[in-house]
Chain A
Amino acid sequence: MSAEADALPVGIGVCDCLTPLGDAAATHAALLAGRRALEMRPVLGRDGGDAVPLALCAPMDETIPPRWLPDLRRLVARIPGDAWGTAARPVIITSSNFGVGSLHAFTRDRDSRHLRHGPPFACVEMLQREFGWGDHILLLSHACVSAQHGLLQAARLLHGGAAGRVLVVTFDFVSPFVAGGFSSLKILNAGWPAPYAVRESGSIGLGDGAAFAVLTREGGAFRLAAHALHNEMFHFTGNRPNGAGFDAIAAAIAGAAQGRRVWVKGHGTGTLEAGRLEAEAFARALPDAPLVSWKGSLGHTLGSCGLVELAITLAALRAGRVPGTVGSTAPCFTDNVALADFAAGEFDGVVLDSNAFGGAHAATLLTHD
C-alpha cells in the first residue's frame, strides 16, 4: 500500500468547540492549568453501575428533548453566516453516536418521543429544523475517526468544485448506551486515563464534545494541508500487533509534513497497546516531534475527538502554548511523549491523529505561518 497523504489544502475560516471545560479557549486554558474534566460517575447514569471517569456537560440522563440540545444550540450560535445546507454551502455532520442514547432511554421508559432523534437521520433532521439548515447535509459515521473523515470530505468538496464553503459539525455526548459498551469491553473502568504512560493496566475516560469548522478554498492563517487514512481491517477492537497500521498512517502524514517542524496531537486514550503502538510509530516517523494527548483530562470525545481537538489546537497556537499530556506521569512508552506544556512558536505545523474500531486511522496535517 502506498503511504501517501491526500494533499488537499483548505483554509480554516472559523473553528470552535464545546467541552465540559468550556469553549476552545477556555478548554485550552484549563488544560494548561492541568485541570481534569473527568469525574468518577456511575457508568449507567441514573441506573447506577460502577464508577468510571466521565467528563459531562450535564448529568448523563436521556431527556426529551435530548440533554445535549442546549449545548449544541450554544455552539451553533457561534457559527457565522447563513444559507448552510445549500448547494454552495453544504454541511457535513459527523458523529459516532448521533442520538443513539435515546434508543436506550426508550427501552427503559417506553416513551416513543425518545425515538424521534434515535437514528442518525432523525437526529439530524431535528437539528436541521432547529437551526434552519437546508437539505444538503452529508452524514459520516466512522466510529472515532468520524470527524477527520468529515474534514477530508469537506476538502474534497471544495477541491472538486462542489462547494464554495463547507461547514463541518460534529457532536458526541456520552450516554449509558456508549458508556455501558466501553465498560463491557473493560477499557472504561475505575482507573483514570494516563495516555502513553507505562502502567499495569490501561483505562480510558469518555467525554462530551462538540465542535465546528468552516472550511474554505482560500488559505488563511491556519490551513489543513493534507489528510491520511488507513483501515487495518485486522480486528474490530484490536490493532495489528506489529504496529503496521500505526506505521502506515504515521509514515503517510510524515511524508506530507516533510520540511516542517511539527508536533503531534495524538489519539492517546489511555489504553496500553494502542497507546504504545501510536507513540512508537510517531517516534519512528517524526522523531523530533513532541507527542501529546489531552484525553487524560477531557476523556475520549469519540467520533468528535478529531475536530474538538483541532479547535483546542488552534486555541493553543493562538495562545502560543501547547498543553502537555494531562493525567500522565513518567515513565512513558517513548521519549517523544511531552508531559509538560511547551511553546508553540518553535513549530510551523501540527499532526492530528485519531484511531477507531476496526483499526481505522486518520491523520491531518495543520500548517500555519
Chain B
Amino acid sequence: MIERRIQHLRVERPAATETVDAARDRLGPLFPRGALRRMTHLGLLVGATLDGLAIGADDTIVYATTYSETRALEDYLASFPTPSPLLFQTSIHPSAVQQVMIGRQQPVRRFLPLTGRRRLVEHALLAALLDPAPRVVLTGGEERGTWLLDHGVASDRAFAFALGLAACPGPGAIGRLAFTADPSAAAPESCPSLPDFADALAERRPLSWRGFGGEYALEWAA
C-alpha cells in the first residue's frame, strides 16, 4: 500500500452566480496586485485553495482539471481573426496553477498537469501517490463556461480544491489518501468525478473504489 497524509485542505465552492469580477473582489487580497488583474476565475479559485500553503521548490504539484481555462478559451476564440496573445497564453491547460505560481515567483521542480474525465481523479491520486517528493500538492478545479457550456463541453459549476500531502505520518494530519495494489482485482468500479471528489473533500466524506490495478481510499481522522 502507498499512502499520503493530508496536512492541508481547502476547497472553494463559490455561489453559482459568482462572476470572475466578483471573485476578484472577494479573493483579491490573496494575490499580488500585478497578477490579479489577469487572473481567470479558475486561477483565482485554485490560488485561494493554495493560500496558506508555502509551496517549496522541491515540492511536487499535481493538477487535475477536465476543462481548464474555459472562459479564456471562449474569449480567445472570439478574438479571431485577430487572435489575442494574452488570451492564447492564458488558455493553455496548466494556466491556473501557473497564474498563481508566477504571481508568487516560486519555481517548482515537478508540476504535473493532468486532464481527462472518467478516471481523472484516480489518475491524479496515482500520480500524487507515486511521486517521490516529501510533499505533494494535489490541486484541481473547474470554472463555469458560457457558450461552451450551452453545447455541453464546459463545466456547469466552478470549484477548486487543494490538498497538501505528506509522505510520512505526522502531527496535524486530518486524513489520508491510499492506494493498495491488487493486480488480480476484478473490473474497476466507476471513479468519482472531479466535482464529486471536491465535494467529498469539502464535506470530509470518505471515498473508496476499486480502480485499475487496486483499491483507492480517501479517509478522515476521527
Given contacts A103-B77, A160-B130, contact A141 B109 (CB under 8 A): no
What per-residue 1/0 map shows which CB atoms of A176-189 lie under 8 Å from chain B? 11001111111000
Question: A107-B78, A121-B116, A233-B106 given as contacts; is B98 within 8 A of A6 (CB)?
Answer: no
Q: Which residues on A sit within 8 Å (CB–CB) of B67?
A: 119
Q: Which of B73, B76, B80, B118 has the most CB of A within 10 A?
A: B80
Q: Is B200 an interface residue (CB 8 A)?
A: no
- Given A104-B80, A136-B119, A138-B114, decide whether A181 and B88 contact each other with a Cβ distance below 8 A: yes
Bin the interface of chain B by size.
35 or more
In-complex Cβ contact of B88 among A86, A106, A163, A185 (8 A): A185
Contact yes or no, A87 B131, CB < 8 A: no
Check A88 against B104 for contact (C-beta < 8 Å).
Answer: no
Check B181–A161 contact: CB distance below 8 A: yes
Contact of B93 among A96, A185, A248 (CB under 8 A): A96
- CB of A200 within 8 A of chain B? no
Mark interface residues in A52-90 (1 if CB within 8 Å of B CB, else 0). Answer: 000000000000000000000000000000000011101
Q: Is the Cβ of B153 less than 8 Å from the Cβ of A115?
A: yes
| Nearest B residue to A128, CB-CB | B118
Instruction: Please give, as numbers and ranges, the residues of chain A lying within 8 Å of B148 by CB-CB distance.
Output: 103
Instruction: Give the one of B58, B118, B151, B153 with max A CB within 10 A.
Output: B153
**Could you say which residues of chain A place their CB within 8 Å of the CB of B151?**
106, 112, 115
Whether a CB of chain B sits under 8 angstroms from the CB of A30 is no
Q: Which residue on chain B has the smallest CB distance to residue A118?
A: B153
Does residue A329 face the partner (Cβ distance < 8 Å to B)? no
Chain B residues with Cβ below 8 Å from A141 are 93-94, 113-115
Q: Mark B78-98, 1 if CB is under 8 A from A, else 0.
A: 101111110011101111001
Question: Are B104 and A121 in contact, with the CB atoms below 8 A?
Answer: no
Q: B126 is contacted by which of A107, A162, A180 (Cβ under 8 Å)?
A: A162
Question: How many A-B Cβ pairs are below 8 Å?
Answer: 171
B25 CB, min distance to chain A CBs, angstroms: 24
- Of B78, B89, B94, chain A has the most CB atoms within 10 Å of the CB of B94
Q: Which of A88, A136, A157, A248 has the most CB of B within 10 A?
A: A136
B212 touches A139 (CB 8 A): no
Decide yes or no whether A221 CB sits under 8 A from chain B.
no
Q: Does B108 contact A (CB under 8 A)?
A: yes
Contact assessment for A121 and B117 in the assembled complex, using a CB-CB cutoff below 8 Å: yes
How far is A112 from B148 in the complex, measured between Cα atoms in Å? 11
For chain B residues 187-222, which have a beta carbon within 8 Å of chain A?
A: 188, 212-214
Whole-angstrom distance between the alpha carbons of A56 and B204 in the complex?
50
The answer to whether B113 and A142 touch across the interface, beta carbons within 8 angstroms, is yes
CB-based closest 6 A-B pairs:
A181-B88, A121-B117, A1-B57, A233-B101, A180-B83, A141-B93
Could you list 6 A-B pairs, sorted by A, with CB under 8 Å?
A: A87-B185, A104-B77, A108-B80, A138-B114, A230-B109, A231-B107
